[in-house]
Amino acid sequence: MTALAAPAPSGGSRRLAGTGALLRFALRRDRVMIPVFVAVNALMVLSMPYTLKNLYGTPAERTGLVHQLETNASFRALIGPVFDTSTGALTAWRVGVYAAALAAAASLLVVVRHTRDEEESGRQELVASGMVGRRASLTAALLAAAVANAVLALLVTAGLAGQGPSGALALGLGLAGVGMVFATTAAIVAQLTESGRLARGLTAAVLGAAFVLRAAGDSAADGGTSVLTWLSPLGWLENLRSFADERWWVLSLFAASVVAQGAVAYGLAGRRDLGMRFLPALPHSRLRLSGGTPTGPSVGRLGTAAALAWRLQRGGVLGWSIGFFLAGVVYGGLTDGAADLVRDNDQARQIFERMGGQSGLTDAFLASMTGMLGLIAALCIVASVLRPHGEETSGRAEPVLACAVGRLRWAAGHLTIAFGGSALIMLLAGLGFAVGYGKQVGPVLGACLVQLPAVWVIGGVAVLLYGVAPRSAPASWGVAVAVLLIGWVGPALDAPRIVLDLSPFGHVPKLPGGGMEWGPVLVLTGLAAALVAAGLTGLHRRDIGS
């Protein structure tokens, strides 16, 4: 008798070989980032019913709120429409769009990290040399994003079930759906670009465009739904109408988008070389032409470490600058309407005053909004400070440092952009407030700039971790997210003062309206300088790549 040979794996199986191992590896690498994103997002959503019950505890108060929102186009643009007066519906209205945006951001980061970043670093070529299918890495990245979004959906559904099981399930599935839509968008962009940084930036731009489309549609809609809203996945989440006669068929839009974009991403992945982008790359330099013959030096030479740092980070600085200016314009335009919206609600007024000081309601709103932008600026400075860490771990720092460039001068170029860039975006936010609000230009500008010492402290922590313990440098994100959570959720939950004081933002003066206190500002600035000095000392003494 002859032995029967085992059947050869089919073409599809070969292309996905090793997916399970890569998925386990991806989840292990993201064992900190994914739980942090999911926990922060779930906590933000699940804490909102408690806050709303304190603010609008009676049906009459909730009905009055809904009536005011229906006539306030600015608030519809910022947060979206509300479809019911129940606590669950108000929760979906208040945090739905922003929770979905956070889920989308986490998903695109996961996918880009395990696809384009791996190819850019050269690790994917090593992995592909083994028994790994051509599309296994892409599949593992999408599955890792799916795991994160599934856990978020499960937590939201279980946590809000008391407000209505069907509404909780709809909101959870909607948040996961938005996350997976942008995960597959990132999968496409990762095939079209040659840089992980560019892939993240382009996908984030798509997310920003989705927010703008939703905002424009909600602002234009008066008692109905605009076509612009239906062009945005964030608008689909709204029109799912969680806790308000759910439209279950809207979930098919998420499913169709995920399937269609996934198919495009898989098609592109099978038609390009590993490490290359799908579209042909442009030359890295332009040559001057004279009579058809290339002459002269190439354009774009980098002569200093600072110039290299600027070339690497200029796109991020530009994106954050535009975003903060536009946010200032929007929040400035909402100032008068926000004051009218909560003027008759004692609980809402107290929350704004806890976030922004004990001055007038308008000043408290301005102070709370500038404080929120300061919290977001902390994320910006961490991303910029950790850029040298990315250069070091990818092996690109060593060739630079092998030249006549000291490591401190190399790091100083990146840190100048990080700390100077944070000052620039807060300045632009203040100018945006001045454009949108049109009043108190000086005080509002000062309210934005006074956030900088607290922002710099978070940046100093990132410098310290990178310089002294580079393996722990990504923990800077955890510090920034914790500070964001304290500043955002703490006042709404009436957290004890000792908890709020853990954040450096709890010590900055509450402007406008409050008095300028130079003592805390100087202390925070000195602390930031000390942290940076300690981090640079550690960087100077340790081995690069250790």
Same domain, 266 and 317: no
- Taken in order 394, 113, 152, 383, the sign of the CA dihedral is positive
Helix ranges (DSSP H) in 270-360: 305-342, 346-356
- Taken in order 476, 479, 482, 483, the sign of the CA dihedral is negative
DSSP code, position 442: H
Domain ends where: 259, 277, 295? 277
Q: Would you say 299 and 285 are in contact if contact means Cβ atoms under 8 Å apart?
A: yes
Same domain, 245 and 309: no
In terms of Cα–Cα distance, which of 190, 178, 119, 147 is closest to 26?
Answer: 147
| Structural domain range at position 461 | 304-546
**Which pLDDT score is estimated for 61?**
76
DSSP code, position 349: H
* Torsion region of 357: left, alpha or beta (phi above 0 gives left; psi -120 to 50 gives alpha): left
Same domain, 243 and 373: no
349-353, long-range: CB within 8 Å, 24+ apart, which pairs? 351/51, 351/55, 351/491, 351/492
Same domain, 402 and 455: yes
Same domain, 39 and 112: yes
Same domain, 329 and 188: no
**Which pLDDT score is estimated for 319?**
83
**Which pLDDT score is estimated for 248?**
94
Same domain, 20 and 156: yes
Same domain, 122 and 246: yes
User: What distance in Å separates the CA atoms of residue 109 and residue 113, rounded to the nearest whole number?
Assistant: 6
In a domain, 113, yes or no: yes
How many Å is the Cα radius of gyration of the chain?
A: 25
In a domain, 237, yes or no: yes
Whether pTM exceeds 0.85: no
Strands (DSSP E) found in 236-299 = 288-290, 293-295
**Which pLDDT score is estimated for 83?**
86
Same domain, 271 and 357: no
Same domain, 170 and 241: yes
Same domain, 413 and 451: yes
Residue whose tokens read 């001068």? 409
Q: How many domains does the chain have?
A: 2
In a domain, 345, yes or no: yes
In terms of Cα–Cα distance, which of 490, 218, 513 is closest to 339?
Answer: 513
In a domain, 236, yes or no: yes
Same domain, 250 and 309: no
In a domain, 404, yes or no: yes
In a domain, 80, yes or no: yes
In a domain, 4, yes or no: no
In a domain, 8, yes or no: no
Show pLDDT as tens, one digit a residue, over the chain (546 residues). Answer: 344 343 445 555 566 777 888 898 888 988 888 888 898 889 889 888 887 887 777 788 778 777 777 766 666 777 788 888 888 888 898 888 889 998 998 999 899 988 888 887 777 677 766 776 677 888 999 999 999 999 999 999 999 999 999 999 999 999 999 999 999 999 999 888 877 777 888 888 888 888 888 888 887 766 556 788 899 999 999 999 999 889 999 999 999 999 999 999 988 887 766 655 655 554 443 333 334 444 444 445 566 788 888 888 888 888 888 888 988 888 887 777 666 655 555 655 555 555 554 456 677 778 878 888 898 899 889 989 988 888 887 777 777 877 777 888 888 899 999 999 999 999 999 999 888 887 778 888 888 999 999 999 999 999 999 999 888 888 888 888 888 878 877 766 667 778 788 889 888 888 877 677 888 899 999 999 999 999 999 988 887 765
**Which pLDDT score is estimated for 274?**
63
